[in-house]
A and B are shown apart, each in its own frame.
Chain A
Amino acid sequence: MGYVAVKGGTEAIHNASELAEFYRVKGDTTPIDIKQIRAQMRLAIDKVMGEGGIYAPEYAAIALKQAEGDVYEAAFILRAFRTTLQRNYYSQVINTREMFVKRKISASFREIPGGQILGPTRDYTQRTLDTAKATETAIDIKTFLDGFDAKIDPEKLEGISTFGKVIDLLQQEGLLAPVDPTEDRSLVDITREAIKFPAPRSARLQMMARAETGGLMALGYSSQRGFGAVHPTVGELRYGTVPVRVKDAGGRNRYIGKIEVTENEMITGSKPAKKGTPPYFTIGYGLCFGHNETKVICMSTLDTAMRRPEMGAPANDQEFVLYHTEGVEAMGFTNHLKLPHYVTFQSSLSNTRAAVERNNKTNKEVEQQMIQMQSV
């Protein structure tokens, strides 16, 4: 057998993955508990679940631990895990009017039914590095929690209520664009069939719900900055838990638990398609698993952008948006560049060599012709 430079592949990859495992634990510190990741890395978990396309906080935590905190990698692991599971039911449409609201704000109106509920957010805080976090102890956490509990007066807790929606106010006034009867309202399950273009809105929203936050943000931001003309206002942003129900074999609705979701309804002034139609407001929609406000805001901006026929801006182009924000696929293909490419490279190498040679030859001939002409 002749000499092969890259050989012993099996052993090498085993060693490489063992080394990766070594890098994960080499500090010889206490293993991070899955419960701790679930509790203290809440937003990373939510990203991983959303992009992984499966609502499973515990599995998301395991994936995050396994991937040393790389959110892409963890989402990828979860996507692969999801493939192993049987799809037993399609849930009934969740109703976000039933949401147990943890946060609910509107940027369009100063006061909304039920009030603005800020909930857990760092939005209005100063992002100064809190070095005290470096030395936080279990006692600190306990002290904080006790102090927090002490501030709650159980007598002042109101009964659980649900809230009307901001868009209802606009709808009542007739300011929203009437539903376009020609719009495709078919439901496509993008995990079961390949997406086709033009894609129905259901498919677009599903794709974006699983899309990578950073990718969505880049395109959503481009639309706001001038590449496309969506200048949206947050009509209502909500985060909270909603019940999920499925229809059993007997046709009865069964409650199977609740999930956390973030929802955003974005109000945008629209350009009327026909002359004589008033410039109604339209609603761009975004919903994703867990708590990820950036994602739903960009989703709803892009939802609006993709409904505009006007091309020339990436954000208005369905194919551009949907293909390129698919994080797991994008990451896979980007990283495939690390795979050996010597066969394909060899063939282009020989082509290029030949072309360079041809070029040199012609140049020499031209040169010689020039010399001859000058001597004449």
Chain B
Amino acid sequence: MIENTKYTNKYNFAFIDEATKKEIRRKLLKAVAIPGHQVPYSSPEMPISRGWGTGGLHITLAVIGKEDVFKIIDQGSDASVNACNLREFVNGMTGCKTTFDTAEATLIQTRHRITEEELTYKQIIVFQVPLPEPLRMVERYEYKTLQMHAEADYAKMYVSLYESYVRHGAIMQGAGYPVMVNGRYIMSPSPIPRWDTPNLNQAQTLFLFGAGREKRLYAVPPFTDVEPLEFEDVNFEIEDFSKSECYKTGYKKAFLDEIYSDEGERKFVISDSNFLDKKSEKQETHQYSNKYIDQLQEYGL
């Protein structure tokens, strides 16, 4: 058999070449300096499909160091198929320690959730973003949305929220609820549920957002104002789980997933898999608190 020696070169640490990683880090610095502003970047091709978290991977691979402890979640779960695949990839390309434990991780990549446990200033969370442009739903052309951001002209956005309210009696935007960052830019917080949105406000953690397919990066630095868009008389609301509870732990104060058994019976379970484990084992957890969740507690939930 022919020995193939042509392809035996090892990959660079963290897959991407150093020059490109540096470029991404430079763009990240710019993103941090202008909270909520989308910065275009090179977005190199990855061995993962576009739209499956390439933007998150670019950031992760650009900032990860040998000492980092890496956690990746998809829809709240460490065990989700895409999370498993990406974890293997990052682990294979960096040799970094991986973990399921939210508290232990130094770098967390996520799709569609923020952990239930409060993150600290020692941690970075990287979001995979499918649609970075919050104005896309009201304006399809990029050159126009750029102009709207530049002029802070967000009238169309407010009109669309108002229209939704008039039509349905509520703002129907589900996940990815648009937020105003640092009083300047409207930002799409990646499709995290409304439950997680208030946790972006004045947080200790650095939030980095990567949209690979659309080639945009943006960030929310620690201790930055992040406010969901609302009206004086029509307010932002989080998901209502008051009538349900986790069937495994009986816990109510967390984002719950709806699951169906083979018989079609409906149950709820805590979406954050690590948080669920900790709750099941009665371990101590330090949860985010925000005015929306606190309000729920006042109702005795």
Is B82 in the interface zone, CB < 8 Å from A?
yes
Contact with A along B101-132 (1 / 0, CB 8 A): 00000000000000000000000000000010
Contacts A135-B1, A172-B264, A272-B167; A126 near B84 (Cβ below 8 A): no
Report B128 CB to chain A, min CB distance, Å. Answer: 14
Contacts of B258 in A (CB 8 A): 109-110
One of A126, A135, A226 near B89 (C-beta < 8 A): A126
Is A134 in the interface zone, CB < 8 Å from B?
yes
In the complex, the answer to whether A118 meets B81 with C-beta atoms within 8 Å is yes
Contacts of A123 in B (CB 8 A): 49, 52, 81
In the complex, the answer to whether B2 meets A135 with C-beta atoms within 8 Å is yes
Is A131 in the interface zone, CB < 8 Å from B?
yes
One of B48, B259, B263 near A127 (C-beta < 8 A): B48
In the complex, the answer to whether B4 meets A131 with C-beta atoms within 8 Å is yes
Contacts A110-B257, A279-B172; A164 near B264 (Cβ below 8 A): yes
Is A250 in the interface zone, CB < 8 Å from B?
no
| Chain A CB within 10 Å, residue with most, of B77, B140, B167 | B140
Q: For chain B, give the interface size range.
A: 20 to 34
Report B88 CB to chain A, min CB distance, Å. Answer: 8
A contacts with B: majority SS: loop
One of B7, B131, B168, B264 near A131 (C-beta < 8 A): B7
In the complex, the answer to whether B85 meets A111 with C-beta atoms within 8 Å is no
In the complex, the answer to whether B259 meets A111 with C-beta atoms within 8 Å is yes
Is A112 in the interface zone, CB < 8 Å from B?
yes
Report B94 CB to chain A, min CB distance, Å. Answer: 14
In the complex, the answer to whether B259 meets A109 with C-beta atoms within 8 Å is yes
Contacts of B77 in A (CB 8 A): 110
Contact with B along A251-277 (1 / 0, CB 8 A): 000000000000000000101100100
Contacts of B167 in A (CB 8 A): 271-272, 275, 279
In the complex, the answer to whether A227 meets B140 with C-beta atoms within 8 Å is yes
Contacts A124-B84, A226-B136, A227-B140; A135 near B4 (Cβ below 8 A): yes
In the complex, the answer to whether A126 meets B48 with C-beta atoms within 8 Å is yes
Is A169 in the interface zone, CB < 8 Å from B?
yes
Contacts of A109 in B (CB 8 A): 258-260
Contact with A along B257-297 (1 / 0, CB 8 A): 11111111000010000000000000000000000000000
In the complex, the answer to whether A113 meets B260 with C-beta atoms within 8 Å is yes
In the complex, the answer to whether A127 meets B172 with C-beta atoms within 8 Å is no
CB-based nearest A residue for B145? A226
CB-based nearest A residue for B8? A131
CB-based nearest B residue for A140? B1
Is B75 in the interface zone, CB < 8 Å from A?
yes
Is A174 in the interface zone, CB < 8 Å from B?
no
Contacts of A111 in B (CB 8 A): 259-261
Is B137 in the interface zone, CB < 8 Å from A?
yes
Is B300 in the interface zone, CB < 8 Å from A?
no
CB-based nearest A residue for B2? A135
Report B73 CB to chain A, min CB distance, Å. Answer: 13
CB-CB contacts below 8 Å: A114-140 with B = 114-115, 118, 123-129, 131-132, 134-135, 137
A369 CA / B297 CA spacing, docked (Å): 89
A367 CA / B242 CA spacing, docked (Å): 84
In the complex, the answer to whether B264 meets A124 with C-beta atoms within 8 Å is no
CB-based nearest B residue for A132? B4
A58 CA / B201 CA spacing, docked (Å): 60
Is A229 in the interface zone, CB < 8 Å from B?
yes
In the complex, the answer to whether B168 meets A279 with C-beta atoms within 8 Å is yes
A313 CA / B48 CA spacing, docked (Å): 30
A118 CA / B81 CA spacing, docked (Å): 9
Contacts of A169 in B (CB 8 A): 260, 264
In the complex, the answer to whether A112 meets B260 with C-beta atoms within 8 Å is yes
Contacts A272-B167, A279-B168; A127 near B49 (Cβ below 8 A): yes
Contacts of B85 in A (CB 8 A): 124-126
CB-CB contacts below 8 Å: B128-182 with A = 131, 136-137, 139-140, 167-168, 172
Report A106 CB to chain B, min CB distance, Å. Answer: 9
Contacts of B48 in A (CB 8 A): 126-127
CB-based nearest A residue for B130? A224
In the complex, the answer to whether B75 meets A110 with C-beta atoms within 8 Å is yes
Contact with B along A137-154 (1 / 0, CB 8 A): 100000000000000000
CB-based nearest A residue for B259? A111
In the complex, the answer to whether B137 meets A226 with C-beta atoms within 8 Å is yes
A124 CA / B52 CA spacing, docked (Å): 9
Report A311 CB to chain B, min CB distance, Å. Answer: 14
Contacts of B49 in A (CB 8 A): 123, 127
Contacts of A134 in B (CB 8 A): 4
A127 CA / B46 CA spacing, docked (Å): 8
Report B203 CB to chain A, min CB distance, Å. Answer: 27
A198 CA / B168 CA spacing, docked (Å): 30
A102 CA / B127 CA spacing, docked (Å): 33
A137 CA / B263 CA spacing, docked (Å): 47
Contacts of A271 in B (CB 8 A): 167
In the complex, the answer to whether A269 meets B172 with C-beta atoms within 8 Å is yes
Contacts A124-B85, A226-B140; A113 near B261 (Cβ below 8 A): yes
One of A110, A118, A137 near B1 (C-beta < 8 A): A137
Closest 6 CB pairs of A and B: A226-B140, A111-B259, A127-B47, A124-B85, A126-B47, A131-B7
Further pairs besides A112-B260, A125-B85, A169-B264: 5, Cβ < 8 Å: A110-B77, A124-B82, A172-B264, A225-B136, A225-B140
13 contacts between A and B (CB under 8 A): A110-B259, A113-B260, A113-B263, A124-B84, A124-B85, A126-B48, A128-B47, A131-B6, A135-B4, A225-B131, A225-B140, A226-B140, A227-B140
